[in-house]
Structure 1
Amino acid sequence: MSKQQATLVTGASAGIGRAIAQMLLAQGRQVVNIDYKLPDWSHPQLHSFQADLTQAAATQAAGAQVAREFDVTALVNNAGATRPGTADTQTAEDLAYVNALTLQATMLLTQAFLPSLRACGQGRIVNMASRAALGKTERIAYSAAKAGLVGMTRTLAMELGADGITVNAIAPGPIATELFRQSNPDGAPRTQRILDSIVVKRMGTPEDVARAALFFLSPDNGFVTGQVLYVCGGTTLGLAPV
């Protein structure tokens, strides 16, 4: 019996990943979620697997299990963590953790699903980078990992384009997720400074990012690859290369 085709979204239990998964489900797609915690929401076409994606062995095991059960034709490497730190305080452990979740997991899951991505002839990979890749104070490990993810995205696009696979990155700016609000409560001076920096004068939402992801994930969108789309409300104007 043939396996169902599915889109895999890491970190879909909450935040941006959840918004992407829910929009895909609304399109009628089967969605697979790999996250360190299972979601508190459900859908008949949502299939969740629990794994610590900072651990190589656990990531490979989860990828192998999903590959046995589904033909993954699109992959969204969304799971991430910030681990804030300055030049004086950032630790080697922080750097290793963020790199493992951002870079190692992306590479290992891409490798796990290359056979099905290639077989479908129109595979799609979306990597969740960040506006922080352009530089952000107190984010040494995070900004370095996200900049590395942009480089990985471009290289994968070059290597996989002949297989019909597109690989693109989304770089969100200030997005009002649960984690953002924990660090930046409403009314706090730091939060107001962030709002003042946004050209469109509002915070982004997970749905803003999800709509960008759906553009890259469309089977009809086969001529855009190796690109970084800043979903940032204009905060990268004057900073990001054209």
Structure 2
Amino acid sequence: MSDAGTAIVTGASGGIGAAIAKALLADGYRVISLALEKPAWSHPQLEARTVDLFDARATEAAAAEIAREHRVTHLVHNAGVIRANAVESTTAADIAALAQLHLGAALTLLGATVPHMKQAGFGRVVLISSRAALGATGRTAYSATKAGIIGMGRTWALELAPFGITVNMVAPGPVQGTQMFHEIIPAGSERESALAAAIPMRRLGQPEDVAAAVKFFAGREASFITGQILYVCGGASVGTLVI
């Protein structure tokens, strides 16, 4: 284990997850990437594992294996999917699938790693929610489960605080340069420009903006901060933003 600790980062193969992994690696952490694909980049302290987090059994197997091989100190659950649809086109299966990815996978990973955190009297859990937890058009399944992350994380914060384990949420607004964002908003489009203009800071977020918030919560200095939600959104959570 590195001096800083060992962090699981889900969805670290690209976008926000990759920025988080690189920020933690730069600070001396060992990082275990859990994603559908291995990152296209490497680092001596990066261990990449492939797993489909939609698959509960595969997630359980990966979590148990990591817990056997590593003393995990940090869990960053970033992996996410939107499944944008109008309410009448959204199905219960969409909600169930995103509940497994956004909630179930996090619970499984925590369940496997928290015994060591409790034993050590130290742990950091950072869950990536979304500004969409406040409501967003066409995001029934996404908003529901990203809001669920907040309720789940606040509950974990209460349960785990006596053991020196903090649990906090980072809720990004629109973040440019990620596959998930550009599947809905084409890069360089008028829609992208209009969205940036509607944000109080007059720009879209970058993956590094989110990584900086995660790094803050991950640090030992953040030992008296738990159960909190940090919106990294350029002010979009303060007013009305139509995406």
TM > 0.5? yes
Alignment of 1:152-231 (within 5 A): 152-176=152-176, 177-231=178-232
- In the alignment, is residue 62 of structure 1 matched against residue 50 of structure 2? no
- 1:204 aligned partner, one-letter code: G
Classify the secondary structure of the residue corresponding to 1:204: coil
Contact 2:31 2:47 in 1 (8 A): yes
Q: Deviations over 1:152-177 (max 9, x none)?
A: 01000000000000000000001012
In structure 2, distance between residues paired with 1:58 and 1:65: 11
Which residue type is aligned with residue 180 of structure 2? Answer: L
How far residue 52 of structure 1 moved from its aligned partner, in angstroms, is 0.8
Runs (4+) off by over 2 Å:
186-190
1:122 touches 1:222 (CA, 8 Å); kept in 2? no
8 A Cα contact 2:82 2:180, kept in partner: no
1:141 maps onto 2:132 in alignment: no
Separation in structure 2 between the aligned mates of residue 140 and residue 113 of structure 1, nearest angstrom: 31
For each residue in 1:126-167, what CA deviation from the matched residue of structure 2 results, as whole angstroms up to 9, or x when unmatched? 000000000000100000000011000100000000000000
Contact 2:7–2:73 (CA<8 Å) still a contact in 1?
yes
Name structure 2 gaps, 5 residues minimum.
Answer: none
SS at match of 1:106: helix
Unaligned runs of 5+ in 1: none
Q: TM-score, normalised by structure 1?
A: 0.94
Q: How many residues are treated as equivalent by the alignment?
A: 237
User: 1:86 aligns to what?
Assistant: 86
Q: Which amino acid aligns with 2:234?
A: G
Counterpart Cα distance in 1 of 2:180 and 2:156: 29
Kindly state the Cα deviation for residue 38 of structure 1 after the two structures are TM-superposed. Answer: 1.4
State how far apart, in whole Å, the 2-side matches of 1:86 and 1:175 are: 22
Correspondence 1:25-174 to 2 at 5 A: 25-174=25-174
Offset, 1:56? 1.2
CA RMSD of aligned residues (A): 1.3
Q: Is the 8 A contact 1:81 1:98 kept in 2?
A: yes
Q: Which amino acid counterpart does residue 25 of structure 1 have in structure 2?
A: L
- The letter for the 2-side match of 1:178 is Q
Shift in Å, 1:37: 1.3
SS of residue paired to 1:58: helix
